[in-house]
């Protein structure tokens, strides 16, 4: 294996690329991406030369058998591959092909709920006395026939569905087709730990864990309290706090149980989808012993509820960085992303004034300059934006009560041909702007793709960026600036201007030249103790 990172620290020093398997590369013309397609595109991600993107690992959104009510986040068999994507043999080949290139492979582990078509749930719902009854949450209706508590599902509506067969309700934090597994039942825990071992034995390097913080709930499933910040007109599903269904104190014990399984396998790692306050996210690392998750996602940069205006504001960005730094335990590091399969893409999200692409460029330097493990989302490296989907082509069932997620899940745009190099058939979701493709950007030094390649390469060449501490600077209004420093290594100053006018950044004596920037004109304007940053630009200074 060509190992460009220091062995088992891949998850600490590497850059991980999230693939939404349905949308990366189709090889059989059915319009749906597949594992063979990912294998065929691995050289694009990392072929060991400067021509490839240069990432270190891949996280695949779920690839397991599933009725696809939530596009794979409703798993009906944790130990196999959905036929749309391939089979176990294709997965084994994907693992081997990744490892040949020094790429790590993380699968998506969905512990909170299965599909209602999983044999466990089919058994569980069949009778009050079925041995699997307690593998899920079944409760009597209230005397008036209403659901057992007031919880609101993440996708809206009650978290409870009444089942005629036994006259009880079952709990689902998401869609009714996604019943919650009961992690207070040791048999469930053992079965789910077995799932982790099954894939780790096959050679995967770890997992992204879906909604980690919801796995354990209040033992009595007590009502959730009202959200004091909610005002009429806000989304009804945010009317209650999630106090008794998310980040409940003993969820951290479930995390430690998972970690113990992961530790049976040398070099494996887990990153959790975690939400809540900074302190809550920090706790997922397991405190001083660091016996929790290796990494816990911090989504504060992409919080959908944030008005666009404050989302790209230096005060806000500086605050997120310092809060995250202050709340991860010593020896751990934050984990950030600007895009994923659940949120509008940054190039569109921050495009209210037509400057989305510029902000996306600056975000690349920010993300890869921060102390933490960066996660990129396929297509981000070419500046893909959200795609307007005609009503009749919408797919995401969660859209019924929430903003749908189809716009950020459209196929990867490899070239400008009719099938975008993605498929020879008709794609499961429509394509975006035909001007935004890998082919068009490969040879263009000014393209987003070239920028990402440069930044990824620079990061890899800089021990301070990969491993150094982070010190915030007070560099002036509308400026985010920090220094990454490591004993005996050249420090790197990362700075960005969030304003639409130029800003002067105080950089201090030691820093003398712009090593990398979003805007090639910056080099000429750099002088001594200050650097003039053009509107929305970002730089690395040595």
4, 30, 101, 490: which one contacts Ca ion (CB under 5 A)? 30
Q: For Ca ion, which is the closer residue by CB, 94 or 195? A: 94
CB of 426 to Ca ion, least distance (A): 12
Q: Which of 373, 371, 372, 541 is nearest to 471 (CA)?
A: 371
Nearer to ligand GLC, 273 or 358 (CB): 273
Structure tokens at 254: 């479930």
Measured from the CB of residue 21, what is the shortest distance to ligand GLC in angstroms? 13
Applying CB under 5 A, which of residues 11, 13, 16, 34 lies at the interface with Ca ion? 34
User: In angstroms, what is the minimal distance from the CB of 32 to Ca ion?
Assistant: 4
Give the list of residues 6+ apart from residue 540 with CB closer than 8 angstroms, or none.
365, 369, 458, 465, 492, 493, 494, 514, 515, 516, 517
Task: Write down the least CB distance from residue 280 to ligand GLC, Å.
Answer: 16
322 binds, among ligand GLC, Ca ion, none (CB under 5 to 8 A by kind): none
**Total residues in contact with ligand GLC, by rule CB under 6 A:** 9
Sheet holding 538-541: strands in order across? Answer: 469-472, 479-485, 492-497, 538-541, 514-517
Q: Which residue, 283 or 343, has its beta carbon nearer to ligand GLC?
A: 343
**Binding partner of 26, given ligand GLC, Ca ion, none, CB within 5-8 angstroms per partner class:** Ca ion
381 class by beta-carbon count within 10 Å (0-12 exposed, 13-18 middle, 19+ buried):
buried
Whole-angstrom Cα distance, residue 486 to residue 466?
9
Residue of 540, 538, 504, 542 whose CA lies nearest to 361: 538
Q: Where are the beta strands (DSSP E) in 388-468?
A: none
> How far, in Å, CA of 516 to CA of 458, rounded?
8
Please pick, from the candidates 20, 73, 284, 526, the single residue that binds ligand GLC as defined by CB under 6 A: 73
Nearer to ligand GLC, 398 or 473 (CB): 398
Contact, 82 vs 66, CB < 8 A?
A: yes
Rounded to the nearest angstrom, the gap between the alpha carbon of residue 317 and the centroid of all alpha carbons in its chain is 19
Interacting positions 240-279 with ligand GLC (CB under 6 A): 273
| 56: contact with ligand GLC by CB under 6 A | no
The answer to whether 94 and 105 have CB atoms below 8 angstroms apart is yes
Rounded Cα distance, 125 and 142, in Å: 19
Out of 47, 51, 264, 444, the active site residue is: 264
**138-177 positions binding ligand GLC, by CB under 6 A:** 174
From 13, 34, 210, 519, residue interacting with ligand GLC (rule: CB under 6 A): 210
- DSSP 8-state secondary structure symbol assigned to residue 7: G
Is 264 known to be catalytic?
A: yes
Closest CA to 18 of 104, 85, 111: 104
Does the protein bind ligand GLC through residue 211 (CB under 6 A)?
yes
Q: Which letter, b or e, does each residue of 270-307 get, where b requires 16 or more Cβ atoms within 10 Å of its Cβ?
A: bbbbbbbebebbbbbbbeeeeebbbbbbbbbbbeeeee
The contact mask relative to ligand GLC for 189-208 (x = CB under 6 A, - = no) is --------------------
Catalytic residue among 177, 205, 210, 478: 210
Binding-site partner at residue 73 among Ca ion, ligand GLC, none, CB < 5 to 8 Å by type: ligand GLC
Pick what 212 binds: ligand GLC, Ca ion, none; C-beta below 5 to 8 Å, kind-dependent: none
- In whole angstroms, give the CA distance from residue 232 to residue 491: 50
Please list every residue from 283 through 342 that binds ligand GLC, using CB under 6 A: 341-342
Query: Is there binding between residue 427 and Ca ion (CB under 5 A)?
Result: no
Q: Which residue is nearest to ligand GLC (CB)?
A: 73
Q: In terms of CB distance, is 30 or 77 closer to Ca ion?
A: 30
- Residues noted as catalytic: 210, 264
Question: What residues line the site for ligand GLC (CB under 6 A)?
Answer: 70, 73, 110, 174, 210-211, 273, 341-342
Question: What residues line the site for Ca ion (CB under 5 A)?
Answer: 26, 28, 30, 32, 34
């Amino acid at each position: 294996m060509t190992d460009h990172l220091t062995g088992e620290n891949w998850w600490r020093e590497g850059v991980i690329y999230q693939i939404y398997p349905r949308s990366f590369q189709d090889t059989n013309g059915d319009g749906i991406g597949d594992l063979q397609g990912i294998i065929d595109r691995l050289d694009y991600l990392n072929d060991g030369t400067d021509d490839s993107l240069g990432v270190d690992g891949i996280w695949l959104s779920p690839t397991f058998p599933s009725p696809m009510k939530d596009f794979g986040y409703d798993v009906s068999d944790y130990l196999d591959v959905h036929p749309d994507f391939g089979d176990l043999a294709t997965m084994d080949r994907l693992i081997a092909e990744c490892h040949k290139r020094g790429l790590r492979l993380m699968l998506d582990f969905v512990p909170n709920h299965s599909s209602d078509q999983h044999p466990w749930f089919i058994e569980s719902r069949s009778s009050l006395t079925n041995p699997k009854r307690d593998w899920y949450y079944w409760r009597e209706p209230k005397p008036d026939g209403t659901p057992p508590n007031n919880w609101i599902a993440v996708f809206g509506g009650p978290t409870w569905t009444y089942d005629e067969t036994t006259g009880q309700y079952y709990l689902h934090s998401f869609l009714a087709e996604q019943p919650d597994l009961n992690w207070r039942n040791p048999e469930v825990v053992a079965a789910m730990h077995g799932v982790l071992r099954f894939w780790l034995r096959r050679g995967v390097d770890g997992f992204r864990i879906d909604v980690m913080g919801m796995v354990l709930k209040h033992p009595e499933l007590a009502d959730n309290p009202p959200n004091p910040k909610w005002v009429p007109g806000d989304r009804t599903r945010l009317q209650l706090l999630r106090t008794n269904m998310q980040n409940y104190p003993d969820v951290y014990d479930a995390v430690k149980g998972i970690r113990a399984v992961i530790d049976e396998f040398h070099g494996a790692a887990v990153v959790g989808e975690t939400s809540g306050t900074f302190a809550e996210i920090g706790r997922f690392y397991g405190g001083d012993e660091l016996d929790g998750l290796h990494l816990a996602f911090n989504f504060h940069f992409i919080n959908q509820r944030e008005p666009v205006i404050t989302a790209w504001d230096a005060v806000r960005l500086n605050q997120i960085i310092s809060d995250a730094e202050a709340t991860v335990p010593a020896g751990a590091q934050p984990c950030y992303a600007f895009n994923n399969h659940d949120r509008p893409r940054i190039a569109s999200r921050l495009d209210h004034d037509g400057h989305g692409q510029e902000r996306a460029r600056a975000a690349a330097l920010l993300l890869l300059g921060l102390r933490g493990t960066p996660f990129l989302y396929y297509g981000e490296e070419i500046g893909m934006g959200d795609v307007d989907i005609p009503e009749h082509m919408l797919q995401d069932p969660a859209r019924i009560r929430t903003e749908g997620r189809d716009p950020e899940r459209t196929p990867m745009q490899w070239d400008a041909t009719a099938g975008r190099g993605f498929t020879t058939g008709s794609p499961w979701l429509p394509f975006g702007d035909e001007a935004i493709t890998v082919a068009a950007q490969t040879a263009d030094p000014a393209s987003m793709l070239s920028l990402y390649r440069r930044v990824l390469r620079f990061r890899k060449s800089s021990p301070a960026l990969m491993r150094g501490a982070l010190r915030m600077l007070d560099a002036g209004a509308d400026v985010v600036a920090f220094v990454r420093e490591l004993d005996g290594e050249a420090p790197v100053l990362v700075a960005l201007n969030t304003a639409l006018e130029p800003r002067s950044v105080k950089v201090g004596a030691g820093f003398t030249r712009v090593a990398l920037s979003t805007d090639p004109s910056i080099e000429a304007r750099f002088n001594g103790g200050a650097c003039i940053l053009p509107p929305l630009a970002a730089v690395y200074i040595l």
